[in-house]
Structure 1
């Protein structure tokens, strides 16, 4: 089996777990050639929403670190250019990629990329009783874990995990389909921008209740506008 030696490792941090309502806040990517790191890309993204305490505690990222960060489009176009036609390596990479795909669908950007998932590979190669999350994979392989849940650090550790898994397969003459690049097949619907009526209604409500609420009006979608209104109604009444 020919293992992939040239690839890009990718990790994202988000405001939450929902592709439809949460935002990317940090990108970390590593370009590898012949098993060696040749370039990196990292960027914060301004999500224009207030981070929850859970995300702040998990990542160490706070609102002040994102207030002057690049807009989503700028950071994402740079990421797409950085990846090029590389196979993407990642830990449970379908989850991260779904956020990229949602952005791409919204912007009519065509993506035709392949991936290998260290989570799937680990499930194939390692003992069943071993936990396969990145934290435990690093422990299993004696990889130093630093700045957990920061995108570039997680990418660096994922690369080391991938190389360790490759070495196990090579040393034991193991051929597994999980090492072959798979084409991403994530299907998502385009999120439509909020209507003029929705924006006016939301703006009137904020003024009436004298509420300060961080909103990116240019990228606000219909579903986001509805969720914000529902949340405000619950907290402040109609």
Structure 2
């Protein structure tokens, strides 16, 4: 998809690392606008958002955002309108990971507002791109901070502040655009990620278990076979990310039954722990 601008954006939320009735609302939005023709930064966007719930101490500790920063800030409705004006109608959103899309969607739903178009063709997950396109740099999916260091870039601003994180993401994006084809679907070598000396690595086994957990959640049932797994969207997504040869697929199949049993054991243990923690009536 051709677009007038790349919009690299980041969000920070008011959240609590414990169960709470308060919503984890967006309190900080930052974005960088890039001209695709010149690949230069042409504008930036930054705004605090006044949450409906008190700002948590955990949020302040992580981001440095204080209560006075958001006390006089506009509400989400006003900030979203300003953000939509900033991004325009022809854009591709660039983020570090997928979470911010869900966060933005949640707050739009919470406030009964229409979200900007975040359909698949308008999104670019830079974290996933560099993980695939720079296999020699990243044995594991990198954090934003690690990626900045590995690319030899200098960190800009305060970590976990929306505009600073967006600016650092934009710097990685510009470097990647100069060195790689942004439109190419890079895939990691299966031998490096999964197979060690002809056998499925421990990392490969953990990955297989995560795929099984993901697929079982989608099905809302524990009945899953290797054949049904091969027909799943979870497996289709895995094949988009990795290049599997016959030997790798054979190893995954050979380990599938054991991985499935391990997943079921974990789920049973989790259910027992939740039952034990529930107070008696």
CA distance in 2, matches of 1:155, 1:137: 13
5 Å matches for 1:115-126?
Answer: 115-126=123-134
Shift in alpha-carbon separation, 1:177–1:111, aligned structure 2, 3 A: farther
Q: Which one has the bigger helix percentage?
A: 2
Which of these residues, 151, 154, 175, is aligned with residue 164 of structure 1? Answer: 175
Which of these residues, 24, 27, 33, is aligned with residue 22 of structure 1? Answer: 24
Q: CA RMSD in A?
A: 2.7
5 Å matches for 1:105-116?
Answer: 105=109, 106-109=111-114, 111-113=116-118, 114-116=122-124
1:131–1:137 Cα contact (<8 Å) kept: no
CA deviation profile, 1:63-119 (whole Å, cap 9, x unmatched): 111111111100011112211231001101x21121221233342415423110111
2:105–2:115 Cα contact (<8 Å) kept: no
Q: CA deviation at 1:176?
A: 2.0
Equivalent in the alignment of 1:200: none
Equivalent in the alignment of 1:61: 65
5 Å matches for 1:141-160?
Answer: 141-145=151-155, 146-160=157-171
Which of these residues, 22, 41, 47, is aligned with residue 43 of structure 1? Answer: 47
TM-score (norm 1): 0.65
5 Å matches for 1:85-104?
Answer: 85-92=90-97, 94-104=98-108
Q: CA deviation at 1:144?
A: 1.6
Q: How many residues align?
A: 173
CA distance in 2, matches of 1:22, 1:95: 13
Shift in alpha-carbon separation, 1:39–1:25, aligned structure 2, 3 A: same
Shift in alpha-carbon separation, 1:120–1:108, aligned structure 2, 3 A: same
CA distance in 1, matches of 2:43, 2:126: 20
1:5–1:35 Cα contact (<8 Å) kept: no
List alignment gaps of at least 5 residues for structure 2.
188-281
Shift in alpha-carbon separation, 1:30–1:152, aligned structure 2, 3 A: same
Q: Secondary structure at the match of 1:109?
A: coil
Shift in alpha-carbon separation, 1:136–1:174, aligned structure 2, 3 A: same
Shift in alpha-carbon separation, 1:99–1:150, aligned structure 2, 3 A: same
Q: Secondary structure at the match of 2:11?
A: strand
Which of these residues, 133, 139, 150, is aligned with residue 143 of structure 2? Answer: 133
CA distance in 2, matches of 1:133, 1:5: 28
Larger Rg computed on CA atoms: 2
Shift in alpha-carbon separation, 1:17–1:96, aligned structure 2, 3 A: farther
1:29–1:42 Cα contact (<8 Å) kept: yes
